[in-house]
Amino acid sequence: MRTPTTDAGSTPSLPAALPATLAALDLLRIDALGAVLHVRLARPAKRNAINDALVAQLRVAFSSLPESARAVVLSGEGDHFCAGLDLSELSERTVAEGIAHSRSWHAAFEQIQFGRVPVVAVLHGAVVGGGLELASACHVRVAEPSAYYGLPEGQRGLFVGGGGSARIPRLIGVARMADMMLTGRIYDAHEGQAIGLSQYVVEAGSGIARAMQLAARIAANAPLSNFAVMHALPRIAEMGQSEGLFAESLMAAIASGDDAAKIRMRDFLEGKAGKVTKA
Ligand code: 1HE
């Protein structure tokens, strides 16, 4: 995919030096662009298939985000977002190793979903198997028209192991996921948006630019609001109504009590902040 030529909204997009931990990750290409960190899967020759090393690098990257990062854009180099599990490593594993392997994916993707900052994924080409599991750990998904979604695990004699059975039904429902796994059904980009796999479909070649714009907007939010959306919202959605309403009140009071919220509300009342208008 092309690097975007458009500026990322209000965020300065000059590349900054990366911490050595991130610069050393050879299966990821990472750029710090102001408050947005762009992380690319960088195994295009293998269609960004996820091997043990790439899982480990994703875990390191998302648990070592620089302080300056307030949102992340995740994309894949080459013609596909991600071909899922690297099948060349699979046959060597015992059952016990298979469990440990799946848990290593869980640990890495947990850092994405419940990490420090929201993650916007850019989806194009194959978003299949573990690639869809990776995408579903992100908070916002922007698809280009070339994107297509599949769960070929059923045809490969496998089951999802990267958190897919916990995350994907929460996006599209158990019945659709079961259909994808049992029959090999593929959804294209527009169908994927219609059922909830992505929130956006954008023009070919514009996925990264759009994701950078969205990430810049996210990065400009008060950090506690972003924290609440990432950490409180999905948990409250799993609670019973009474517990959820109680937790919501606490989170709302914590967020609105923060100076960042007070400044924003005062700015609006003084006519210094934007109105909510139609796009
Ligand atoms: C791979 C992989 C892979 C490509 N593991 N090496 N995932 C799948 O079942 C998807 C398998 N891959 C494909 O269906 C196709 O490769 C694609 C549709 C993604 C891309 O097709 P294409 O024509 O662009 O590329 P290609 O020629 O098939 O592959 C290029 C190279 O990437 C080739 O290696 P080469 O050394 O011969 O050049 C392929 O072998 C290699 N490659 N995909 C290993 N997945 C935590 S559990 C998750 C369980 C799953 O994810 S199951 C789903 C696995």
Q: Are residues 196 and 254 in the same domain?
A: no
Q: Are residues 169 and 232 in the same domain?
A: no
In a domain, 192, yes or no: yes
pLDDT in tens, 197-225: 999 999 999 999 999 999 999 999 999 99
Question: Averaged over 9-20, what is the pLDDT?
Answer: 66
Q: Are residues 192 and 248 in the same domain?
A: no
Q: Are residues 145 and 238 in the same domain?
A: no
| 89 catalytic residue (yes or no) | no
pTM (predicted TM-score)? 0.94
Among 166, 153, 117, which Cα is nearest to 138's?
Answer: 117
Q: Are residues 130 and 264 in the same domain?
A: no
> Which residue has a Cα nearest atom 36 of ligand 1?
46
pLDDT in tens, 102-111: 999 999 999 9
**Beta bridge mates, 37:** 32, 72
| 153 catalytic residue (yes or no) | yes
pLDDT in tens, 257-268: 988 888 998 888
**Cα–ligand 1 centroid distance for 215 (angstroms):** 29
pLDDT tier for residue 13 given thresholds of 50, 70 and 90:
low
Q: What is the DSSP letter of 81?
A: S
Q: Which of 41, 47, 167 to mutate to test the pocket of ligand 1 (most atoms within 8 A of CB)?
A: 47
CA distance 73 to 30: 10
In a domain, 5, yes or no: no
Residue numbers of the domain that contains 265: 223-269
- Name the strand (E) or helix (H) holding 227: helix 223-227
Catalytic choice (89, 97, 144, 153): 153
Q: Are residues 129 and 249 in the same domain?
A: no
In a domain, 279, yes or no: no
CATH number at 175 reads 3.90.226.10
Catalytic choice (67, 92, 97, 133): 133
Instruction: Find tokens 């996925």 and name the residue.
Output: 207
Q: Domains in the chain: how many in total? A: 2
Q: Are residues 179 and 235 in the same domain?
A: no
Q: Is 168 in the pocket of ligand 1 (CB under 6 A)?
A: no
Q: Which atom of ligand 1 is nearest to the CA of 160?
A: 47
Among 179, 121, 175, which Cα is nearest to 150's?
Answer: 179
